[in-house]
Amino acid sequence: MASVPVSSADSAAPRSLWLRQRWLVLRRLSQALVLLAFLSGPWFGLWIAKGNLSSSLTLGVLPLTDPLLALQTLLTGHLPYSAALTGAAIVLGFYLLVGGRVFCGWVCPVNVVTDAAAWTRRRLGIKTGRVPDAATRYWLLGGILVAAAVTGRLAWEWVNPVSLLHRGLIFGMGGGLFVIAGIFVYDVLVASRGWCGHLCPMGAFYGLLGRTALLRISASKRSACDDCMDCFTVCPEPQVIRPALKAVGQAGPLILSSDCTTCGRCIDVCDKQVFKMTHRFDQRSE
């Protein structure tokens, strides 16, 4: 309880709108601020970050580079300048520390698209479709690394929807919109959480970085769970909840799976306030 500022322990009282949307709002704010840092320059002449998520320079001093892109560059046989390598190391270190898929939930612009698709799918009550195996993303990740080495160029960057959308939002966009629209339609009609949860190789890569994540969600009040399934419905990676909530294969209440994007939506939707945002070493449960 200590680290969660819960307004009322009485679960019968209806929670405020803020408490029901808190993490979603914070997350959208984070995504918008990341984008704004890149757009304040071209829009208002106030340069905070230059470039895009692939590689950037913040305040003229801090280089940041997508480590997966740096890895692909190395595989093509090109040794980038130290600016790019330093940037990749900083990003790598940050996500190793905080949690790899924090990128997916808090930074990646495609997340907004796929969240909207998941919401649409729920509202329309679409249950049909065919979901690819969640391991497909790891094969695709391996595939794009092999493609970089074999073709000698950053092959995935021709189609990568994540960089397409972020670059498009900052530098202007045309044909890339079709790819993004395609992902939206795919997630609505064909596969629930199909792109982010099953296919995206960037998500797979950042997932691999999440095994030592400090920022974690804990089902600390799991005894209060009334099996309403709200958390499973909204969770982009529902399989991560069960071990912590139902103590399957683990004793502690921490969600430890590196697939968890730490989006905190389960905290928002749970009327019993089972979940809380905490750190890796917080094993307390009530």
Q: What are the residues binding another protein (CB under 8 A)?
A: 41, 50-52, 54-57, 63, 65-66, 69-70, 73, 76-81, 83-84, 87, 132-144, 146-147, 150-159, 163-164, 167-168, 170-176, 178-179, 199
Q: Which is nearer to another protein, 199 or 270 (CB)?
A: 199
In angstroms, what is the minimal distance from the CB of 50 to another protein?
Answer: 5
> Considering beta carbons, is residue 15 or 137 the nearer one to another protein?
137
* Cα 32 from Cα 165, distance rounded (Å): 14
By the 8 A CB rule, do 237 and 118 touch? no
**Nearer to another protein (CB atom), residue 119 or residue 158:** 158
Q: What single DSSP character describes residue 187?
A: I
Alpha carbon distance 220, 52 (integer Å): 38
Distance CA 80, CA 112 (A): 31
Residue 254, classed as helix, strand or coil, is strand
- Residues contacting residue 252 through CB under 8 Å, at least 6 positions apart: 218, 244, 283, 285
Q: Say which residues have a Cβ less than 8 Å from residue 28's Cβ, sequence separation at least 6.
A: 112
Nearest distance from C-beta of residue 243 to another protein, angstroms: 19
| C-beta of 104 vs 145, nearer to another protein | 145
Q: How far is the CB of 218 from another protein (least distance, A)?
A: 30
CB 243 within 8 A of CB 256: yes
Select 173 or 189, whichever has its Cβ closest to another protein. 173
CB of 191 to another protein, least distance (A): 11
Q: How far is the CB of 239 from another protein (least distance, A)?
A: 14
